[in-house]
Structure 1
C-alpha cells in the first residue's frame, strides 16, 4: 500500500533536497583557480557522508579516515562543509595562527538557538559578545587567580582522598563531587553537602542534556535548519528544547540572584559571581549573559577534571609498572610522613608527565568542538570556504606517529626522556599543560586550563602517595579484566564504570589522610555554610 504524504511534509522533503543540492553546487562553484578541495571519503547523493559517521565516538572514524586521506580531510554532510584537522601543526596553523577567521561557531538550531537561546558562551559567534565573555572568563580563571584557589583545591582533595579510601567503589561519585564542589565554592561561594545536593543534580541534568543535544546527529534540525520554520505545534523538538532552556536559565539566574542578595546583606563570600557583580560595568554583557558565563564555567569545570581522573585510574590499572614508578618518584621527594602539597609540584616531573600523558592517551574532548571559518581561505593549496566547520580531532592529534611513537601505549617517559620528540627541559617547569592541545586551540582555548592543571597534579600526587591501585581479584582467584576503551558518549567523555581495587598503602599513611581531612574540615572558611 502506498504511503500518503501531506502537502506540508512533501514541501519539507522537497526543501531539504533542494537545500542539500544547493549547498553542494555552491561549494563546487566557489573553488578558486589553482586550488583543490581536500580529499575525503566518497559520499552518497544528497546526504554526502552524513550516514557514514557513527552516532557515538565519531573521532575514532575520523582517525581512520585521516590515516587514509591525510591530515586535513573533507566531509560533506548534506551539503554542509566539515573539515577535520588530524595533526597538531594543521590545527595550530588554522585555529591559532589564523584565529582571526577560525574562531567562530556554527549557530546550530538545537543546541545554540533552542536550548541555549544564544546565551551559552561555548557557542557564541566570534563577535563583541564573545570577546566580552572571554574577558570576564580570563579575569576569573587566569593564572594569578588560579593560584588563589589552591587552598580550596587542597581542602576538596583531602575530602576526596578520605572518602575514596573508605569507599573506593564509589570512586566516580567522589571524583565528580571534587570537581563540582570546587567550582561551587569558587564560583558561587557555596559548600556542597554531597553528591545528592538537589541543585547539583539539576546542574548535571542540564550538562548531560547539553552534551546530548550538541552531539552530531542528535537533532535533524541541525542538518536541515529549514525545519526551524515548522510551527511549534508541528515540531515537538522545538517544544522540548525550549522547555529545557527555561529550566537552565532559571538555575543560572537563581545562582546569580542568591549571591546578589547576600551581597546586599554584606554576607557574600568571595566568588566568581560576586566578582562579576562588583565589576559588571566593565563588561558589555547583560546580567543574563553574565549569569551564563559563570554558570557555564561550572559546566566546563565540573565534568572534565573528574573524567580525566577516571581515565588516569584506568591507565594505572592497565599499566601497574607505571604506577609503581610514580609511587617511587613521589616517595623520593615527599617521604611517608605528609601529603604532597602544591609547593612540591615543581619537584615532581613524573606526576606532571603522568597527567599530561593521561590527557594525550584519553583526551576528554576527544573530537573537539568545531570552529567555524568566517571567510574563504586557502591552506597548502586546499580551499576552505567560509562557513566550514573545522574539527581539531584530538584523538588523532594525540596519536600522530612523528610526535608520539607507539601512541596507543601509556608512556609518561615520552615527556621525561630526551630520546622522545616531546621532551623539553628544565624538568622543574616541563612537562606542563600550558597551551596543550588537549585544552583546545587559539581563541577558543579552555579558560579553566590553569585551574584544571593544578587539580590534576595535586590529585594524582596525593592518590598515588596514599593509595595502592590494582585490578580486582575475582572469585576464581584471577584478575578481573577491565576494558581498555569503553567510554560514555558526548563531547566530554569518561570511561564507563569499571572495577578495581584501591586501599591505603599503610596504616601510617591512612592516619595522615585522616588528620589532613579533619584539619581541613575544622578550618574550612565556609564551615558555617555547610552541613556535612
Structure 2
C-alpha cells in the first residue's frame, strides 16, 4: 500500500511539473514587433521562488521594480506574475482596460473554485455571480452609510477602550475584537459571533495566501485523496465549518425577524426582500453577507495596529492629534459628525494605510487575453499585481517615503495636499482599495471603523516606546506635552487643523523652516541614517546592522504588524472612569453580548466542524 501511495504521489507530481513546463513554454511566444517584459530569469520549474524571502517578500518585489522597471514579470512556480510599481500604469491597465484585467486568478488551495463557486465575492471571476453579488454589496453598503452604520462603531469603541484599560498588553486582541464585533453587528445585528468570525477570517486567509496553505505552494497536493493530503483535509473541514457558520447566522436573523426583534443588519436587508436579488442557490445570500464580514474582520484591524506602531516610533505627532481631539470633542468620545473637523486624525489614518499598507502586494487580477503596453507583451493568464508597497513609495508623490509623516496630507506644498480640509484627506478611493471594477466595496465601513476606533484610542490614551538599556526614549521639550502641541499645530483654529493663512498662501508664509522640519529634525525614525559625527570613525565592519522594528510583519496576504511591547496609559483618569461607567450602563441594558462558542468543547476539536490549526 505504501509503495502504491508513493507511486501515485510521484506520478501526480510528474504530471504537474510537465504541465507547468508546457504552460511556461507557451508564455514565451512573443508576437512580432513586441518585447517581452523584463524581469529576473529565475530557475527551471520553480522560477524565482528561491530568490524570495519568506517574510516581507513585497520589499523584494519593490526592489526588483527598481532594477527592471515599474512593469516587470517573474515566473513563480510556473505562473507568470506581472508587478506594477506605479499608480499610472496600474490605472492604465487595471482601470482603463478593465474589460480584460478584471478576473481573479485561481487559488488552488480552496476546495471550491474561487472563480466560479459564487461563494467568495472578492475572489470571483467576472461572471453572473460576481455581477449580482456586487449589486447586492453596493446596496447594503449604501444603506449602512446612510444610517451612520447604525452607530455600531461608537457602541463597540467603549468596550474596546475598557479592554485596553484592563489589559493594555493585549492591545492586538482588543483592536481585532473591536473590528470583528462591529462587523458582526453590521452583518447579522449581533456581536457574540465575533471570535468565530475572526477564526473564519484567519482560516480563509491561510487558504488564499500564497505563503499560507501548502496547496498554494504545491498545487498538486490538492489532487490527492484527503487521507494522503492533510492540507486538503484541513481545507475541506474549513469550508464545511464556514458554510455551517453562515447557515446558522442566517437562521438566527430569520428567527429575530419572525420575533420582530431583529437589529439593523445586512442580513436583515437581504431577508426583507429576499426574492429581488436573483441569488441562484439556497445559501448564496448567507455567503454574500458572510464574506463581507470575513473581508472586514482582519483587514481593518491591521492599520489600527499600525497606528500604535507609528505613534510609538513617531511620537512627535501624537500631541498634535491629542490637541485636535481635545479641541473638537472635549470630554466626550469622537462621533461620526466630528469627521469634517478632524483633518489631522484623517491624515494619520491615511498615512497609516500608505506607510504600512495592509495588503502590500495588492489584490491580484488576472489577464483574460494577450495584451501589450508601451511595446511590451503581456501574455494571457498573467497574474497582475498592483504592488501597493511600491505605489505608496513613489518619491515624486511622497517625498521621503519611508518616513511616517501625516503632515504630507494636510500641509500645503506637499503633492498629496487637497482641499477642502473638511473632506480631505480621505482614504476613500485610495489605491489601497484596488483598481477598476475590483475596487473594495467596503471602503466606507473601513473609513468609519478607523475614524471612530483610532480616534477613540487617541482621545483616551497616550503611548510610548518601552524603555530599555539599548533604546532610550527621545526627550524633546518641544513636543513634551499636549499644551505645547497647540503651538506646533500649524496655526489651528477652532474647527480646522490648518490655518487659513497657510491655505491661502500655499504654505509659503516665510522662508523660515516649516513646522514639519522643526519637529522631524528632533527625531530619528526607522530607516534614517544618523548624521555623520567627526568623533565617530567606526569601521563599517564594526557597525551592527539594525533591523527595522516597524517591519516585523506577518507573512500572509494581509500584512499585520506583529505584537510589540509599548506603554499604553490613559491621559485623563476622569475620562477613563466615564468610559467604564458608560460601558457598564450599556451592559446592564443588554447592549454588549458575551462571545459565543459554536462547536462545543475546545472549539470542536476532533469533530466534523470546528476550528482548524492556524
Which TM-score applies when normalising by structure 2?
Answer: 0.79
Question: Residue 19 of structure 2 aligns with which residue?
Answer: 19
Work out the CA distance in 1 between the residues paired with 2:254 and 2:5: 55
Shift of 1:330: 2.5
Shift of 1:179: 0.7
1:302-359 deviation per Cα after TM superposition (whole angstroms, max 9, x unaligned): 112222111101100001111112112333333x433332222201110100000001
Shift of 1:360: 0.5
Question: Is the CA contact 2:149–2:186 (under 8 Å) kept in the aligned structure 1?
Answer: yes
Alignment of 1:407-418 (within 5 A): 407-418=401-412
Question: Residue 338 of structure 1 aligns with which residue?
Answer: 332
Which stretch of the first structure deviates more once superposed, 234-243 or 272-281?
A: 234-243
Q: RMSD of the TM alignment (CA)?
A: 2.8
Question: Is the CA contact 2:215–2:232 (under 8 Å) kept in the aligned structure 1?
Answer: no
Alignment of 1:102-141 (within 5 A): 102-111=101-110, 113=112, 118=117, 119-141=119-141
Question: Residue 329 of structure 1 aligns with which residue?
Answer: 324
Work out the CA distance in 2 between the residues paired with 1:244 and 1:108: 15
2:453 partner SS: helix
Question: Residue 92 of structure 1 aligns with which residue?
Answer: 91
Work out the CA distance in 2 between the residues paired with 1:248 and 1:234: 23
1:100-120 deviation per Cα after TM superposition (whole angstroms, max 9, x unaligned): 211111222213637999322
Work out the CA distance in 2 between the residues paired with 1:58 and 1:146: 40
Question: Residue 352 of structure 1 aligns with which residue?
Answer: 346
Which stretch of the first structure deviates more once superposed, 504-513 or 368-377?
A: 504-513
Question: Is the CA contact 1:114–1:241 (under 8 Å) kept in the aligned structure 2?
Answer: no
1:397-449 deviation per Cα after TM superposition (whole angstroms, max 9, x unaligned): 11111111111100001111221111111111100111111122222222211
Q: How many residues align?
A: 520
Shift of 1:518: 4.5
1:356-411 deviation per Cα after TM superposition (whole angstroms, max 9, x unaligned): 00011111111122111112211222222221110111111111111111111000
2:377 partner SS: strand
Gaps of 5+ in 2: 475-525, 527-547, 597-614
Work out the CA distance in 2 between the residues paired with 1:531 and 1:232: 33
Question: Residue 33 of structure 2 aligns with which residue?
Answer: 34
Question: Is the CA contact 2:366–2:383 (under 8 Å) kept in the aligned structure 1?
Answer: yes
Instruction: Pick the structure with greater CA Rg.
Output: 2
1:53-83 deviation per Cα after TM superposition (whole angstroms, max 9, x unaligned): 3333321111111111111110112332110
1:378 aligned to which of 372, 380, 384: 372
Which stretch of the first structure deviates more once superposed, 47-56 or 436-445?
A: 47-56
Question: Is the CA contact 1:469–1:503 (under 8 Å) kept in the aligned structure 2?
Answer: yes
Work out the CA distance in 2 between the residues paired with 1:117 and 1:103: 14
Work out the CA distance in 2 between the residues paired with 1:383 and 1:69: 15
Question: Is the CA contact 1:472–1:499 (under 8 Å) kept in the aligned structure 2?
Answer: yes
Shift of 1:477: 10
Change (3 A) 1:144 1:26: same
2:413 aligned to which of 415, 419, 426: 419
1:501 partner SS: strand
Work out the CA distance in 1 between the residues paired with 2:115 and 2:237: 11
Shift of 1:270: 2.3
Change (3 A) 1:200 1:513: closer
Alignment of 1:219-258 (within 5 A): 221-222=215-216, 228-258=222-252
Gaps of 5+ in 1: 193-198
1:455 aligned to which of 426, 436, 449: 449
Question: Is the CA contact 2:184–2:190 (under 8 Å) kept in the aligned structure 1?
Answer: yes
1:308 aligned to which of 300, 303, 309: 303
Question: Is the CA contact 2:358–2:560 (under 8 Å) kept in the aligned structure 1?
Answer: yes
Which TM-score applies when normalising by structure 1?
Answer: 0.90
Change (3 A) 1:17 1:503: closer
Which stretch of the first structure deviates more once superposed, 81-90 or 479-488?
A: 479-488
Q: Does residue 1:182 correspond to 2:173, yes or no?
A: no
Work out the CA distance in 2 between the residues paired with 1:217 and 1:340: 39
Question: Is the CA contact 2:114–2:123 (under 8 Å) kept in the aligned structure 1?
Answer: no
1:486 aligned to which of 552, 563, 570: 552
Question: Is the CA contact 2:311–2:318 (under 8 Å) kept in the aligned structure 1?
Answer: yes
Question: Is the CA contact 1:146–1:450 (under 8 Å) kept in the aligned structure 2?
Answer: no
Shift of 1:90: 1.4
1:153-196 deviation per Cα after TM superposition (whole angstroms, max 9, x unaligned): 1111122223323331221121112111111112112133xxxx
Question: Is the CA contact 1:416–1:423 (under 8 Å) kept in the aligned structure 2?
Answer: yes
Q: Does residue 1:47 correspond to 2:83, yes or no?
A: no
Shift of 1:237: 3.3
Work out the CA distance in 2 between the residues paired with 1:295 and 1:136: 13
Change (3 A) 1:190 1:7: closer
Q: Does residue 1:496 correspond to 2:537, yes or no?
A: no
